[in-house]
Amino acid sequence: MPYPPYFTETHDQFRAMVRRFVAMEITPYVRQWEEAGEFPLAILRRMGELGLLGVHYPVEVGGQGGDYFMAVVLAEELSRCGAGGFPMAVAVQTDMATPPIGKFGTPAQIEHYLKPALSGAKLACLGITEPNHGSDVASIETHAIRDGDEWVIHGSKVFITNGPRADFMTLVARTGDAPGYQGLSLFLLDLDLPGVRVMKRLNKVGMRSSDTALFYFDDVRIPADRLLGNEGQGFYHIIWELQGERLIAAAGAVGSAQYAWEIARDYAKQRSAFGRRLSDFQTIAHLLAEMATEIEAVRQLTYAVAWRFAQGEVPAQEIAMAKLATAQTANWVIDRAIQILGGHGYVSDWPLERMWRDIRLNRIGGGTDEIMKEIIAATMGLRTE
Ligand SMILES: Cc1cc2nc3c(=O)[nH]c(=O)nc-3n(C[C@H](O)[C@H](O)[C@H](O)COP(=O)(O)OP(=O)(O)OC[C@H]3O[C@@H](n4cnc5c(N)ncnc54)[C@H](O)[C@@H]3O)c2cc1C
């Protein structure tokens, strides 16, 4: 057991199983998916068959009944495919769009949305960000107006992962005139309804095996029972969701940094220059030592915070710290790993250039570095207002 007390033998066996699955069924194909701009939906169904999409959900809602550290293991191990896009698409399915259904969903919503998502039969996406409002969630303009037994939705969402092919969206929309955080609600929105328009598949620096969409909603009518959770409580529901999302992003970043470090270490031990192995140069050996130290520090922070989350706490300050520190460290580590490989690090024969492009998003998505610092500062009482 490498990391007691967080991981048991069950986690270690699960880790070994996921590592084999990633090596055999994801890594060999990931370049092809990156070039295609999307992963095949069959791999999601395969993950559903293997029970990999609901590891920490109760059995009654279609999950595997594992604890939160199973999700941490999954996120770390998926990163070892050497790309961020597919793991991000999976994280949207398992830890972004679906947790609010597990927590606030009615039995019918669980049957119709959560269970098919956890089996891989339906693709889910999460709609928070809008063209005019990203970090400033309280300013969301997309709105839903009650009309008899229906809600009528107007507005738009942007940067929606899985969006171009998703079956449904967990949507944040305004349902009242109350300003700011008040008056937001969550909805489950089928994306084949009249009035839903997917405008385009967005081209990106990285995360290319994950497709990203811009949506417009024009007079989209959904039954009243598609409201998820309590009307007017959507902000609080989604803030809860974001905590889990940030922790999974942190675990994924730790996995990416670790994998990049291993690639750099192996390369440094076999590559010769000036008659010596690279790892014999103190500069390189010390850099690898420093990279390993930084990874270990953020790994331990992530595990410690995940432990508190698994016990039912929601330590927003420390979750923000873990998200911030892992994103910055993984960016720093992967950049140095490229340096150790020299020109080989820069070409796509090796996964590092892709990992370097992909990891950049961790400093933006799910709350930017600056927003994480805002949360940390605010929860420390540093603001006077
Ligand atoms: C590939 C990709 C996938 C994504 N997937 C999804 C998804 O599935 N669903 C979804 O809803 N969203 C998704 N997003 C959106 C992502 O969460 C947002 O991009 C992010 O929250 C930042 O919002 P923004 O881009 O509007 O930037 P803005 O909020 O406009 O921020 C711009 C800059 O200003 C800074 N800033 C803003 N406010 C403050 C402040 N108070 N103090 C200091 N600095 C500040 C930011 O840190 C940033 O540097 C995705 C984005 C990308 C690129």
Buried b (16+ CB within 10 A) or exposed e, 200-216: eebebebbbbbbbbbbb
The full set of domain ranges for the chain reads 9-123, 125-232, 235-379
Eight-state DSSP code of residue 283: H
Nearest CA, atom 4, ligand 1 = 159
Catalytic residue among 77, 245, 294, 353: 245
Taking alpha carbons only, the member of 174, 175, 161, 176 closest to residue 214 is 161
Residue at 143: amino acid letter:
H
Judging by beta carbons within 10 Å of its beta carbon (0-12, 13-18, 19+), is residue 185 exposed, middle or buried? Answer: buried
Which of ligand 1's atoms lies nearest the C-alpha of 374?
A: 42
Q: Is 245 a catalytic residue?
A: yes
Expressed in angstroms and rounded, the spacing between residue 24 Cα and the centre of ligand 1 is 34
3-class DSSP state for residue 306? helix
At residue 185, φ and ψ (nearest 5 deg) are -140, 160
Nearest CA, atom 12, ligand 1 = 129
Which of left, alpha, beta for 319 (phi over 0: left; psi -120 to 50: alpha)? alpha
Eight-state DSSP code of residue 84: S
Nearest-5° Cα angle at 87, 184 to 67: 75
Expressed in angstroms and rounded, the spacing between residue 365 Cα and the centre of ligand 1 is 6
pLDDT in tens, 5-30: 899 999 999 999 999 999 999 999 99
**What is the CATH number that goes with domain 9-123?**
1.10.540.10
Choose which residue among 157, 159, 242 to substitute to test ligand 1 binding: the one with the highest number of ligand atoms within 8 A of its C-beta.
Answer: 159
Nearest CA, atom 48, ligand 1 = 368
- In this structure, whether the domain defined by 235-379 belongs to CATH 1.20.140.10 is answered with yes
**H or E element: which one contains 231?**
none
- The model's pTM: 0.97
Looking at residue 2, what is its pLDDT?
57
Distances in Å between the Cα of 278 and the Cα atoms of 72, 271, 342, 350 are: 33, 6, 11, 18
Looking at residue 178, what is its pLDDT?
83
Which of ligand 1's atoms lies nearest the C-alpha of 135?
A: 29
Return d(Cα 232, Cα 186) in angstroms, integer: 8
Choose which residue among 368, 369, 374 to substitute to test ligand 1 binding: the one with the highest number of ligand atoms within 8 A of its C-beta.
Answer: 368
Spell out which residues line ligand 1, taking CB within 6 angstroms: 92, 125-129, 134-135, 159-161, 204, 207, 212, 361, 364-368, 370-371, 374
Expressed in angstroms and rounded, the spacing between residue 296 Cα and the centre of ligand 1 is 28
Looking at residue 1, what is its pLDDT?
44
Take residue 17 and report the two structure tokens written for it. Answer: 């199983």
Expressed in angstroms and rounded, the spacing between residue 361 Cα and the centre of ligand 1 is 10
Choose which residue among 34, 123, 128, 129 to substitute to test ligand 1 binding: the one with the highest number of ligand atoms within 8 A of its C-beta.
Answer: 129
Spatial contact of 207 and 355, defined as CB atoms under 8 Å apart: no
Expressed in angstroms and rounded, the spacing between residue 101 Cα and the centre of ligand 1 is 24
Spatial contact of 265 and 279, defined as CB atoms under 8 Å apart: yes
Nearest CA, atom 24, ligand 1 = 134
Please state which architecture CATH assigns to domain 125-232. Beta Barrel (2.40)
3-class DSSP state for residue 277? strand
Strand partners, 201: 213
Divide the 385 residues of the chain into consecutive groups of 10 and give the mean pLDDT of each group. Answer: 79 98 98 96 98 97 97 98 98 97 97 98 98 95 97 98 98 90 95 95 94 97 97 91 95 98 98 98 98 98 97 96 98 98 96 98 98 97 81
Which of ligand 1's atoms lies nearest the C-alpha of 368?
A: 47
Nearest CA, atom 2, ligand 1 = 159
Expressed in angstroms and rounded, the spacing between residue 129 Cα and the centre of ligand 1 is 7
Looking at residue 385, what is its pLDDT?
65
Expressed in angstroms and rounded, the spacing between residue 134 Cα and the centre of ligand 1 is 5
Report the sign of the C-alpha dihedral through residues 192, 195, 196, 197, in that order: positive
